[in-house]
């Protein structure tokens, strides 16, 4: 199971997560997010990271031209679309795409059939913000035949990661707010505890 740590805004957090075993780091380019990072700052951070760490840029309802421009400028490997993007936009992105869906009880999973050439991330629905809520959704809603193909996000922490490993077994997990001191700043203690738990679980 791969691990992505999202909401990276500074080099200290990036290097810590990389050292402890994060497979991917997420940079949020949505300026209404509490974890927003500028393209300039993200570029400086990425220059100091291993080439083997995946750099994921998170965008919300942004124009494809801007996404492609920022991706090239910053040095991203993957684009994560975390808004209300259409299936057509996937084909306009120059990098591999992760399409996020915010899940609530009435979510229609059939919509996934209309999105081609991308990977799926499931996060918790909120009417107030796109991601980063720190809350989980009802994981039992996820169709059993796709659990091993998705990236699971939304309130994952040391307290429930055991259930993720035992019951859901997604291809990857995406963790952010549960590892923070405050939005945009990771807690060294929480990050260490989380990765130590992961090592004990694998």
Residues annotated catalytic, as ranges: 6, 123
Region for residue 130 given its phi and psi (left: phi exceeds 0; alpha: psi -120 to 50; beta: otherwise): beta
Contact 5, 22 (CB under 8 A): yes
DSSP string, 21-54: T-SEEEEE--TTSTTB--HHHHHHHHTTS-TTSE
Backbone angles phi, psi at 32, to 5 degrees: -90, 0
Q: 178, 156 in Cβ contact below 8 A?
A: yes
The label of the residue with tokens 């991203």 reads 76
> What is the dihedral sign for C-alpha 168, 173, 178, 183?
negative
3-class DSSP state of 174: strand
């Amino acid at each position: 199971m791969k691990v992505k740590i999202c909401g990276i805004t500074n080099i200290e957090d990036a290097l810590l997560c990389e050292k402890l075993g994060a497979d991917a780091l997420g940079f949020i380019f949505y300026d209404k997010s509490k974890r927003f990072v500028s393209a300039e700052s993200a570029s400086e951070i990425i220059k100091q990271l291993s080439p083997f760490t995946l750099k994921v840029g998170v965008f919300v309802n942004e124009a494809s031209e801007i996404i492609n421009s920022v991706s090239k400028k910053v040095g991203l490997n993957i684009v994560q679309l975390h808004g209300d993007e259409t299936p057509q936009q996937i084909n306009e992105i120059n990098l591999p795409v992760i399409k996020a869906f915010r899940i609530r009880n009435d979510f229609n999973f059939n919509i996934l059939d209309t999105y081609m050439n991308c990977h799926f991330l499931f996060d918790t629905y909120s009417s107030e913000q796109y991601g980063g809520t720190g809350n989980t959704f009802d994981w039992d809603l996820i169709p059993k035949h796709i659990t091993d193909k998705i990236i699971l996000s939304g309130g994952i922490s040391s307290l429930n990661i055991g259930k993720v490993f035992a019951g859901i077994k997604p291809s990857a997990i995406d963790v952010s707010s549960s590892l923070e001191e405050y939005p945009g700043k990771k807690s060294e203690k929480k990050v260490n505890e989380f990765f130590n738990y992961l090592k004990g679980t694998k």
